[in-house]
Structure 1
Amino acid sequence: MSLFLNKQMKDEVEVWWSSEKNPRDRAWFYSPSPISYELEQRENLLATAPDVTPIPTIAIFPKITYQEILGIGTSLEESTIYNLAKMSHEKREEIYTQLVDRDSGVGFNLMRITLGTSDFTAQPFYTYNDLEVGESDFDLERFSIQKDIDLGIVQTVQRLLEISPDMKIFASPWSPPAWMKTNEDIRRGQLKEGKQYTDALAKYLRKAIQAYQEQGIPLYAITLQNEPLLEIDYPSCYMSPERHNELAIALKKELVLHSLDTQIWIFDHNFSDGWMYVSPILNDKEGNAATDGIAFHDYEGEPSVMREVKSAYPNKTIHMTERSLWGVEAADRFVQYFRNWASSYNAWVTMLDSTIGKHQWVGIPDPTLIVQNAASTDEHWKTPEFYLTGQLSKFIQYGARRVESNYGSIDTVTNVAFLNPDGSLVVVVVNQTDNEQQFRILIEGQQIIADLPAKSVATYRWSSVN
């Protein structure tokens, strides 16, 4: 029986710790290293009557609620699938369970897939409608996701859904088919001018949604173009806000016509350009009506932009769709995402191997959540980031609400708090300092006094007071 259904345990608080170690150090690709705390469950704490202990205080107000949480997860881009395919069935199953099972793993419940290849792939770049130069296919008669099936992408997602049926999937394209683009190439370029190309791309995206649905994989949401302000030497496509708006409207019509309920998330790029990009779309009546949410990446700018955009467009959900980070500084960034109205968070790239492969990004990636030994492909190890992310994903349920709490201080501890649908309260606390920190949590006439080791994250969970 759950702790939160056992009234005799009502005043006890469950505690888990994870710690950082050598964050972002490329040595994690070459071999594992002992980590002090790996989602380690500690002795329960007791809630007591408040006193005047002069220590940093986290004050929680569970009746003041904010955004609903959709989920936390990572990506199933082809590089990860490629490495998983090299493992034995037993080892693959082990990793699947560790990724999505809430009891024996970290409980990721929101996964990002790519529509066609991204830069993180071991394959030649492809889309679902690749033609010879000079050809076109406005009726999309040669559309097919067969490569996704052949490469095991579809099978992997299907298996994860079998293990975790409530898991949600959203998808992002890195480029339209080359024949739709100004440079006739999946890399760089723009969508060709004209309504016929906008409509063709909308139809292409709608057919991708249907094709995955036919495979038993419903897509909860779709972003229209990964990083639409970027042109680079891997699948990419510059798309102005005005063209993005046209595409959102055209895709919405396709979804309505074909009775599809997949959400449309616009933008899918950096905080720094958020205002410039989303306002022309959301200030347009049709664009606003076509848009369900706004997706952000965290490579430039600050999370506070999400709060500003949410204030301006309160009926739109906010999503952090791409960024991998390292150490307790990253954990505090997670805190900031949710405190600034994100309803979800997804890491980017789940598993590369010990040769940092295979991928076609233009730089050298930092350590991934899981690393595979290239010389012995069934062997793998987890970086501290796997556990640090799990401090949130394992405990924050779909449908949870962020609740009011004071942020705290990077000189002591910072936090974010949630009320789960089952009535449990979850507080994630981050200690970025070089020293152990003692603090207390105050909530509705009770306090919990806790100690948190240096450079560590703790999750506290207990039954709701009411």
Structure 2
Amino acid sequence: MVENAKEQGKAEVWWSSEAEPRSREWFARPFDIPYRLERQADAEITAPSPAEGETLAIFPERLHQEILGIGTSMEESTVFNLARMSESKREEICRSLVDRERGAGFNLIRITLGTSDFTARAFYSYNDLEPGETDFELERFSIRKDIEYGIIDVLRRLRELQPELLFFASSWSPPAWMKTSGSLMRGQLKEGEQYTRTLAKYYRMAIQAYREQGIELYAITVQNEPLLEIDYPSCYMSPQRQTELIAALREELDEHGLRTKIWIFDHNFADAWAYVSPILNDAAGRAAADGIAFHDYDGEPTVMRELQCAYPDLSIHLTERSLWGVEAADRFVQYFRSGASSYNAWVTMLDSRIGTHQWVGTPDPTLIVQDAEAPERFWMTPEFYLTAQFSKFVPRGARRADSSPGSAETVTHVAFVNPDGTVVAVVVNRTDRPQPFRLLCEGRQIRAALPPKTAGTYRWRRAPADTD
């Protein structure tokens, strides 16, 4: 049995903190950040003893969901801004995103099928026709613009830098000729099996076209925010229509030997039950679906836990949300404690003019900001480092460990057990004062304290098995 603190080892410690959270002044200039994913002195692992502050109990033998990945998006706005930079600067940013040793270690990237609202280009799909034309055989299908605009090249380079990187894709709109609006904006998919099967074929062809370019798509969501019609690429899609579509898409994928997973919904927590249950209570919908995707613009993440309980064979994914400061870090804690297997930020880099995009509002700060007047210059916002507090230390295959939640008045946290046997705890101090706490795990204790408005990551080896 272990007798003293030295033999029981130490825990590695990193800190990141907020600065001017959500302020659009980040687009004008960088601010000082107290901690930027900075290594601190190791914390001693000792025998348990009384300690001041919150006690965070971790039970690594009680494991929950397996983690697929943590990352961001590579929408066309980001790619357009990358194209304005030299090759060396593009390389620097790409490494900062996906390199686990020298960067954030992102391993899951969201892409768009055709344009979204965050694009510097005219809206397009992969099958744009003149008004009144149709193409049910999809003879004019092409991802040529994705190639010409450099999207494919950026994805390839990210994959080269991080061979474990996975991509999933979301569509903002079917081609305009398939829709009631006759436009990529607003409208619905036209009624009838012919349109359903053609759109399913369109998605299958997109998956194959990306594969031909060397990019495998791990998963697809067939409609981004299906309850929204707005003046950028969008499409209302009822649960019944999505059920029909994913069933047809499953047939297409199976027929062509494609293993891309289908994640349903892809919208807000508040609407999840009403949308998801009709799909998954239908035999065809249940057979076609592999996971449930969520956005966090309305409602609470606890609904993910409810739906995971209701449909335990499906994985849970937070596919879109960008937040700011330690409130964001605490929200990430809530996502994972509520069963999420992945998290992706939305929009990686805009420039100092808050461009280039076609969203209907004014965006908040992105993970990276490019100087519009000097495109070679860029800076990271605190959100880059706060997200990395999770992504850099929690690899694919990690499992969330059962643990006590902590408190918003002290510290909150989430814990994981990694494939290499290390335990990782991400602890968040949202308060305006330093917070002492202790981590209790397998008969051992780590006493620590976090500065105000700071997130800390603690990583250590599990206790050796007792052979007495």
Give the TM-score normalised by the residue count of structure 2.
Answer: 0.97
| SS of alignment partner, residue 13 of structure 2 | strand
Paired letter, 2:396: Y
State yes or no: 1:52 paired with 2:16.
no
Partner of 1:280: 278
| SS of alignment partner, residue 16 of structure 2 | strand
Paired letter, 1:453: P
Partner of 2:3: none
- Whole-Å separation in 2 of the counterparts to 1:400 and 1:372: 33
Ranges in structure 1 where 5+ consecutive residues have no aligned partner: 1-7
| SS of alignment partner, residue 306 of structure 1 | helix
- Whole-Å separation in 2 of the counterparts to 1:316 and 1:140: 32
Paired letter, 1:322: E
| SS of alignment partner, residue 82 of structure 1 | helix
| SS of alignment partner, residue 233 of structure 1 | coil
Q: Which of 337, 340, 343 lines up with 2:341 in the alignment?
A: 343
**Post-superposition shift, 1:55?**
2.4
Partner of 1:392: 390
- Whole-Å separation in 2 of the counterparts to 1:258 and 1:68: 28
- Whole-Å separation in 1 of the counterparts to 2:41 and 2:133: 66
Partner of 1:4: none
Partner of 1:453: 451
Q: Which of 403, 406, 416 lines up with 1:408 in the alignment?
A: 406
Q: Is the 8 A contact 2:70 2:343 kept in 1?
A: yes
**Post-superposition shift, 1:183?**
1.3
Residues 426-455 of structure 1: CA deviation (Å, up to 9, x unaligned):
000000000000000001111000010000
Partner of 2:199: 201
Q: Which of 307, 325, 329 lines up with 1:331 in the alignment?
A: 329
Q: Which of 421, 427, 430 lines up with 1:429 in the alignment?
A: 427
Q: Which of 47, 72, 76 lines up with 2:74 in the alignment?
A: 76
Question: Post-superposition, which runs of at least 4 consecutive aligned residues in structure 1 deviate over 3 A?
Answer: none
**Post-superposition shift, 1:465?**
1.5
| SS of alignment partner, residue 427 of structure 1 | strand
Kindly report the root-mean-square deviation, in angstroms, between the aligned alpha carbons of the 2 structures: 0.8
Partner of 1:375: 373
Paired letter, 2:20: N
Corresponding pairs, count? 459
Partner of 2:130: 132
Residues 182-216 of structure 1: CA deviation (Å, up to 9, x unaligned):
11100000000000000000000000000000111
Seen in structure 2, the aligned counterparts of structure 1 residues 373 and 138 have a Cα distance that, compared at 3 Å, is: same
**Post-superposition shift, 1:58?**
0.3
Give the TM-score normalised by the residue count of structure 1.
Answer: 0.98
Partner of 1:161: 159
**Post-superposition shift, 1:52?**
1.7
Q: Is the 8 A contact 1:354 1:373 kept in 2?
A: yes
Q: Is the 8 A contact 2:8 2:46 kept in 1?
A: no
Q: Which of 216, 219, 223 lines up with 2:217 in the alignment?
A: 219
Partner of 1:185: 183
Partner of 1:147: 145
- Whole-Å separation in 2 of the counterparts to 1:417 and 1:451: 17
- Whole-Å separation in 2 of the counterparts to 1:151 and 1:260: 26
**Post-superposition shift, 1:408?**
0.4
Partner of 2:260: 262
Paired letter, 1:341: G
**Post-superposition shift, 1:9?**
8.1
Partner of 1:3: none
Paired letter, 1:238: Y
Q: Which of 285, 302, 318 lines up with 2:300 in the alignment?
A: 302
Paired letter, 2:388: G
Residues 95-115 of structure 1: CA deviation (Å, up to 9, x unaligned):
000000000000000000000
**Post-superposition shift, 1:53?**
2.1
| SS of alignment partner, residue 242 of structure 2 | helix
- Whole-Å separation in 2 of the counterparts to 1:332 and 1:183: 41
Partner of 1:291: 289
Deviates more, 1:240-249 or 1:10-19: 10-19
Q: Which of 11, 32, 35 lines up with 1:34 in the alignment?
A: 32
- Whole-Å separation in 1 of the counterparts to 2:408 and 2:449: 15
**Post-superposition shift, 1:54?**
3.9
Q: Is the 8 A contact 1:10 1:463 kept in 2?
A: no
**Post-superposition shift, 1:286?**
1.2
Q: Is the 8 A contact 1:98 1:104 kept in 2?
A: yes
- Whole-Å separation in 1 of the counterparts to 2:132 and 2:52: 74
Q: Is the 8 A contact 1:10 1:462 kept in 2?
A: no
Q: Which of 435, 438, 441 lines up with 2:439 in the alignment?
A: 441
Partner of 2:99: 101
- Whole-Å separation in 1 of the counterparts to 2:441 and 2:161: 36
Q: How does 1:114-133 map to 2 (within 5 A)?
A: 114-133=112-131
Partner of 1:5: none
- Whole-Å separation in 1 of the counterparts to 2:288 and 2:120: 35
| SS of alignment partner, residue 136 of structure 2 | coil
Seen in structure 2, the aligned counterparts of structure 1 residues 285 and 26 have a Cα distance that, compared at 3 Å, is: same
Paired letter, 2:406: G
- Whole-Å separation in 1 of the counterparts to 2:181 and 2:272: 27
Residues 385-427 of structure 1: CA deviation (Å, up to 9, x unaligned):
0000000000001010000110000000000000000111100
Paired letter, 1:189: G
Q: Which of 226, 242, 250 lines up with 1:244 in the alignment?
A: 242
Ranges in structure 2 where 5+ consecutive residues have no aligned partner: 1-5
- Whole-Å separation in 2 of the counterparts to 1:289 and 1:224: 16
**Post-superposition shift, 1:34?**
1.1
**Post-superposition shift, 1:464?**
1.5
Seen in structure 2, the aligned counterparts of structure 1 residues 9 and 250 have a Cα distance that, compared at 3 Å, is: farther
Q: How does 1:15-26 map to 2 (within 5 A)?
A: 15-26=13-24
Q: Is the 8 A contact 2:179 2:188 kept in 1?
A: yes
| SS of alignment partner, residue 83 of structure 1 | helix
- Whole-Å separation in 1 of the counterparts to 2:449 and 2:305: 31
Q: Is the 8 A contact 2:389 2:456 kept in 1?
A: yes
| SS of alignment partner, residue 53 of structure 2 | coil
- Whole-Å separation in 1 of the counterparts to 2:193 and 2:375: 48
| SS of alignment partner, residue 209 of structure 2 | helix
- Whole-Å separation in 1 of the counterparts to 2:367 and 2:100: 17
| SS of alignment partner, residue 74 of structure 1 | strand
Identity of aligned residues (%): 66
Seen in structure 2, the aligned counterparts of structure 1 residues 197 and 9 have a Cα distance that, compared at 3 Å, is: farther
